[in-house]
Structure formats: structure tokens, C-alpha cells
Structure 1
Amino acid sequence: MSAAVALRADFTAAMMRALARSSSDANQVRRLLALAAIYEGGTRSEAAKLGGVGLQTVRDWVLRFNAGGPDGLIDAVPPGGVPLLDDAQRRALAQIIESGPIPASHGVVRWRLIDLAQWVWDTFAISVSKQTLSRELRAMGYRKLSARPRHHTQDDDAIPTFKKNFPAEVAAIRATLPRGTAIELWWQDEARVGQKNGITRRWARRGTRPSAPKDQRTASAYIYGAICPAEGKGAALVLPRCNTQGMALHLAEISAAVAPGAHAILLLDQAGWHGSGALTVPANITLLPLPSKCPELNPVENVWQFMRDNWLSNRIFKSYADILDHCCFAWNCLVDQPWLIMSIGMRSWAHG
């Protein structure tokens, strides 16, 4: 049998036990206590019994401790396998994902894993499975997400230009008001709710096909909705159609919800009834039109989606009156949760 390896002399049993008390690594604690027994004059067999291992393992601990000190008794993280793609190849893959496929060249309008795996083979001669490529993409921060709808004729510069100029627009409106007037930012939109209702996703067992009722009748109503995310409040009316008269009624409703002495800047799209010359705008409201074909700038669009997903979809409405009742119920559920309006409606570009 080989001779026992001596422990390094710059540690003592008391120091080893103190290190064990301060360590949160259970394996390191066990090894420190076993070696502390040796420092106290115990045999290697006693140390092995204390550590629950064999003599050869104790010898390995001694060698690791002598070479690396207490840190040498911490299990190293396994290096794992060599990645298929290096950093340069990952950057190239990210670039092709961001630019998207060319339908005439790649034959698809969106990248699938099998398409990207083929691109990796064509470009780098590296064969990679869909599962491995999926792990690589997730490690790079990519997820398969639903695309946000965008109008096909939208000006690419409209949204960034509006956001850039928004503080100046607010300042110009503020300059027309008495000094010290509080400003409330409101957003407004309309949503149609009818018997031709939507069907949303639902939890179901894999392999099954859940069903939901679907009506073919056409009675409908419109929710005129507006929110002030900073204050967590909203104002709405449910009316039979969208027109100037309905918009005037809604503006009066918003005006009543604005805090006394405050002034509301109401951001809204450029629908005809929003900018009609016959529209009466209350004195405590200034209309600020959003760029055309840019619904992404209006958080009320997200409010409609939330209300449909949680309260209005997957239903059969018996009549127009039933539609009114459910629309009022859904809106009241929303305004009863001001934190929900804040969460959905706050925009950093508008609220800083």
C-alpha cells in the first residue's frame, strides 16, 4: 500500500471546521470535516468513515486540498459537450433569423427549424437536428412568438417619428393651458362585439380537439373605450354604431372622468368620426391624432384583446340586450382593477 500523503501545514483542524461552518456546499463541508479529523490526529480510516467513502477517495481529497486549498474540495462543473456552432456561426444564424426568409429564394414566408437546419448545412456543412437547433436558438434568446399585426401600407418612419416628437406635442398643448394645470394622458378606441363571436385558445388534453359554441347571427354593439394608464382609470359607453354623435357622447363621458382642474390629452386614431367638424370637444380635452395605420401605438387595442380573451369570447349572445349586458360587465370588471389598466396601458415612450 502506498504511503499516506501528508496534509499541507498552513491549515489546522479549527480552521477546517470554521470553513465547514461557513460553507453552503454540502460536499465541501463533508470533505472539510473529514480532513479536520486527520488534522486532529485521527487515522485515514476514521476520516473515510466520517466522510462515508473509501480510503482512496480520502487520498484524492487530500491531493485536491493540497493543490487547491478549500476550493479544491468543491466539485467542478463538468465542461459539457463541444457546441456545434461557434460564436461567429451563431452571429450569422441570428442575422439570417432577424432578416427573415426571402420567399422566392427560400420557398417559405417564415423560418421553420427544418429550414434553419438546412441553412446551417448549406452554409457551414454542419448537420444539426431540429431538437439541437431549438436548444441553440433558445440559448441565444430566441422564442417562437406571435407576430404583432402591422398595416401593410404603414410608413416605416411613422411610429419612431411620432414617439420622438411626442414630448414636443405635449409641451405645445401644455403651453396653451394655465400654468400648473395637471395633464392626463388618455387613449381612446372602439371595439365591435357581436353574435359572430371569437373563439380563443383553452387548456385541453394533448391529442384532443376542444370545441366552443359559434353563433352565425349578426347583432352587434360597439364599446367606446378610453383609459388613463397613469391613473388606472377608464371611461366607456356601449352604443349601437360608430358615428360623430356617439363620439360626442363618449367625449362627454371622458370629460367627466378627468380630475377636476386637470386637462386630458386624448390620443386616438384618425377615424372619420374622430375628426369631424361637427364633433363637440369638451374644454378639458385636447385631441391628439395618432399616425394613420399605426394601431400598435394605442394600448386600448391590447385592452380589447384582454377583454375578449377573458370575458367576451366563447359566448353565445341571445340578443342585442344580452350583448350590452356582457359588454358593460366586461368593462366594469376592467375598471374595478386599476392596476390592470396600468399594466396593460403604460408606455415608456409616453410616460417616461
Structure 2
Amino acid sequence: MPRTRIKIIPHLDYAELTQRYRRCREVKERTRWLVIRLLSRPGKPMKVEQVGEITGFSADWVRKIARSYNALGAEGIVDGHQKSPGGKQKALTPEQQKQLFERLQSPPDDGGLWSGPKVGELIKQQFGIHIHRTTAWKQLKRLGLTLQVPRPLHEKSATSEQRTFFKAQLKFFVRLMRWLCPHKQVEVWAQDEARLGLKPVVRRTWALKGQRPISHHYPRYKWLYTYGFVHPQTGNSCLFILPRVNTTVMQIALNAFATQINSRKDKLIILLVDQAGWHTTRHLIVPQDIIMYPIPPYTPQLNPTECIWPMLRERLANKVFDNLDALEAVLIERCQWLMNNPMTVKGEVGFSWLCSI
């Protein structure tokens, strides 16, 4: 006999549940708030089984969380360690945590980078409290800090204001072209090149605990270049493998793209490109019905084509190729797969600000 749908007692309204879910920093507690939020969705609350599929919990565990919330309200969701932390976790008062956070905004005394042991030593010196390095890590997380690799950003990259202006300017230009060319279908595409060669590509991979996977290396410096054209709104793409990057080869790729995408001459393509010399030179003959639209210099994050290269390099990861012919065969297979799976590509290149133009 099927079980009845669980009814959630409205200790908190849906808006408050949403706020609790979004603000929560503890992963497990955050997931429990998500369970209650999904079961309390106005108009059409989810079934227990659906919630389990989304959260990764079993149906019985979802019911247990719901019963706990119904009985205790928010207290039934909050992590027990937060409500009654151990003695070492209580070591720092709110004022001391504030002072610690402010100190962590500048480098340590040795000029290097913060680590668990360094934070533990800082707490010892500043507050006279002895804690283990593991507890020091927990203090960092409690302050809302996470260990991250900084994203590289060129010093000459466009500022936030310049990027916003570029997006608004592009939107205006597209609307203008649609008004001037009502008989044409105006589409925004993006183009970029990627260098791929015999230098190995190393990527993380799953392995059994205690076993270190091996990636064989034989570095050589011979290259092929993939010219990529992507349409963010649909995920359609055109990929060409060519021997080098220069104006002559760019001309070949551009002509092939125009022939493949606009054979009926019923489209106007606005093509986003970076400001590489072979894109901006006067010697490049741009096909009719294509407008080259340069993005700000040193700002690749505005070019959605950049997002397709990790999917291309994924196929080459942790492999050694004897020569460029062997590499090219794998690249052709991967490029064909990407072109035949536009929805997968769209998931990477479908920038919301471009799709809304």
C-alpha cells in the first residue's frame, strides 16, 4: 500500500525556508533545509521520492527529517554540533573571531600564505589559546573561508564596469541590426582557437583509496590548432582542426564557417572574437553577412568559446600520442561528438546575458 504524502507543519513560511537554505554554510544542514523547502513548495509540494532523488537521501531519511522538523521546527534541522559545540570549538568568543577574521585579511608575518598550523600559532600568540591544527582549519571554515585557487586575471583585463558596458553595447548593436535587416535572421556567435599538441594534458581522475594513478609523459612540442565557432543560444558549433594560427588559416576557417552556417544567405552573423592580430588585420576578407565584433582585450571570460576547450582537452587527458596524426584522429572524433551534442555544449557556452539578447 503506497504511503501518503507527508504534510509539513508551517513553522516557517516558504520565503523564510528559502532564506535559511541559502544562508546556511553547513553542507549537511543546508541539505536538510532543502528537503523541507521542497516538501513545502507552495501549490505543488514534491513527493518524498522526488526529494530523495534531488538530495541523494533515501525516502526513509527524507521522512525522518520531515518528522523532526514537524516536531521541533527549526531546532529539528539545525546541526547538533552548532547548537552544542565542543570545548575547543567554543575557544574563541565572537569578538575574538572578528579579530581573527580581520587579521587573516593580510598575509602572515613570514609573508607567505595562511595554513592550519599558522592560524593555530596565531591564535596561540594573540589569544593565548592552544588548539590543534585541525581545529584551526575548522575555525577558518567557521569564519566562512574556503581554500580556493585564485582565478587568473590579466592586469589589463576589462573592469567590471567595462564588461557591463560591453554587454549593453552589444545588445544595442544586435537590436539595431535586427531593425536595419528585418529580412535577415540575426545571430550572435563566438570564435576562438585552442592549441593542442603532443605535450601531455594531465587531469584529475577517480582511483581507489591508497592507490596513486599514473599518467605517462613524453613531452614534445608539436601542435595542432582547433578553430571553434559556437552559438550560445542553441549550443550549435563548428570546429575545424588546422595546422597553425595566422591570417591565411583564419581566412580558411572563416570561409568554411560561413559556407556551413549561412549557405542560404538568410542570416546575419555577429561574430565575437578576441583582438588577436589575425582577427583584426585588414588583410582578412570577412565573408558577406558576417560582422566581426571584438571583445575587450585580455578579457577571455566574455568569450563563450573558451568554455568548450576543457571538454575538448578532456578527451586527451592522461594519454600519450605517438605523433600529430594520432592526435588528430582523436581530435576529429571529439569535435564530431561535440558538434552532434549541442545541448551538452550549450550547458557550457550558454551565457545567460548572451542568450537573452
TM-score by length of 2: 0.67
- 2:296 paired with 1:291: yes
Paired residues of 1:244 and 1:273 also in contact (CA < 8 A): yes
Secondary structure of 2:287 counterpart: coil
Q: How far apart are the structure 1 equivalents of 2:92 and 2:275?
A: 49
- 2:172 paired with 1:154: no
Secondary structure of 1:223 counterpart: strand
Give a deviation string over 1:94-152, Cα, whole Å, max 9, x none: 5555x4527xx4421x332223333444444444433223334445544323332223x
Shift of residue 90, structure 1, vs aligned partner: 4.4
Q: How far apart are the structure 1 equivalents of 2:225 and 2:247?
A: 13
User: Alpha carbons of 1:91 and 1:234: their partners in 2 closer, same or farther (altered >3 Å)?
Assistant: farther
Unaligned runs of 5+ in 1: 1-20, 25-69
- Partner residue of 1:266 out of 255, 265, 271: 271
Q: How far apart are the structure 2 equivalents of 1:198 and 1:182?
A: 40
- 1:282 aligned residue: 287
- 1:28 aligned residue: none
- 1:315 aligned residue: 319
Secondary structure of 1:210 counterpart: coil
- 2:107 aligned residue: 101
Question: What letter matches 1:331 in structure 2?
Answer: C
Shift of residue 350, structure 1, vs aligned partner: 3.3
Shift of residue 235, structure 1, vs aligned partner: 0.9
Q: How far apart are the structure 1 equivalents of 2:84 and 2:207?
A: 37
Question: What letter matches 1:154 in structure 2?
Answer: K
Shift of residue 165, structure 1, vs aligned partner: 3.0
Shift of residue 230, structure 1, vs aligned partner: 1.2
Q: How far apart are the structure 1 equivalents of 2:99 and 2:336?
A: 50
| Paired residues for 1:3-18 under 5 Å | none
Q: How far apart are the structure 2 equivalents of 1:182 and 1:142?
A: 48
Shift of residue 280, structure 1, vs aligned partner: 1.4
Q: How far apart are the structure 2 equivalents of 1:339 and 1:88?
A: 50
Secondary structure of 2:169 counterpart: helix
Deviates more, 1:120-129 or 1:234-243: 120-129
Unaligned runs of 5+ in 2: 1-5, 10-69
Secondary structure of 1:342 counterpart: helix
Shift of residue 326, structure 1, vs aligned partner: 1.4
Question: Which protein is bigger by CA-based radius of gyration?
Answer: 1
- 1:222 aligned residue: 225
User: Alpha carbons of 1:222 and 1:205: their partners in 2 closer, same or farther (altered >3 Å)?
Assistant: same
- 1:175 aligned residue: 176
- 2:309 aligned residue: 304
Paired residues of 1:185 and 1:264 also in contact (CA < 8 A): yes
| Paired residues for 1:175-194 under 5 Å | 175-176=176-177, 177-179=180-182, 181-194=184-197
User: Percent identity between the aligned chains?
Assistant: 27
User: Alpha carbons of 1:282 and 1:23: their partners in 2 closer, same or farther (altered >3 Å)?
Assistant: closer
TM-score by length of 1: 0.67
Q: Number of residue pairs matched?
A: 279
User: Alpha carbons of 1:205 and 1:159: their partners in 2 closer, same or farther (altered >3 Å)?
Assistant: same
